[in-house]
Chain A
Amino acid sequence: MKPTLKTFNKPTHIGELPNGTYFEAGHLVSKNAGWRTKRPVIDKNKCKGCLECYLYCPDGVIGKADGKVAIDYDFCKGCGICVKSCKFNAIKMEGER
C-alpha cells in the first residue's frame, strides 16, 4: 500500500524526537518532486490498465485512483521510464510550466 502524505507537526521538545534513527514506516511528511522538468501524462483512452508502468516506476508513484491508473505528481521525478515501459503508447511526457 502506497503511503500517503501526512501533516507534519513540528516538534517543540527534544523528547518528541526518536532516540535513534527509527520511526514508523511510511511516515511521509513532505512532497518530493521539485526538480521535475517534464511530467508523464496517461491517455485514459489508450491505457489498458495492465500496470506494466507500475512495475517499472523506480519511485513507486504509480497506482490506481478511481479504478484508473494514475501518477502521484507529488513524488514523480519525471524520469520517463513509464513512457518507455508502456506497450500501448498511452503515456507521453509533457513540459512542466
Chain B
Amino acid sequence: MNIVIVGCGRVGAFLAGQLDKAGHHVTIIDLDRASFVHLPQDFNGTTLLGSGTDLDILRQAGIEKADALFTLTQGDNRNLMSAQIAKQIFGVKQVIAKVNDPIRANTYRAHGIGTFSRTSILGTLLEAMLMGDPEVGKVLLEKSKKAEAELAGDLV
C-alpha cells in the first residue's frame, strides 16, 4: 500500500518504521528536519519537509495515489485539517487522525473522519489494568511489547 504519514514524532516514526518493514511504501512529512531522527536507521521510505495542511506538499507526498493517510502531529486541529483535505479533496479512502481531545475525536468520527484519541485509549487501558481486567488490552500489549523488543534489538 501507499501510505502517507503527517508528523514524525515518536508515534509517526514508530508507525512509519513498522509499515516500512512490512513492505509498504511510506512517505512521512514533518515541518522540522530534526524530527526525522526518530525514524529507524534502516527506514527505506521517503521523508518530506513541509506542512501536512499544504495542498502542494501533500501532492508531492503522493496523496493522489495514497491508499491511506495518518495525521499524527501534536496539534489536533492540524491533524483534523490534513485528514479532511485528504478525504474530501483527494478522496483518500482510509484516513485516520490523532486527536487528543476525546470530544473532538468523537465529533469528527461522526462526520466521517477516522479519529483516535490516545487520551481515551490509554486512559481506558490503564483503568482496565488497574481494575484487574487484563483482557481489555491483552492482544494490544502483546503486539506492542513484541514491536518494542524488536526495536531494542532483543529479538531479530
Say if A and B assemble together: no
Which A residues lie at the B interface, using CB under 8 A?
none
Which B residues lie at the A interface, using CB under 8 A?
none
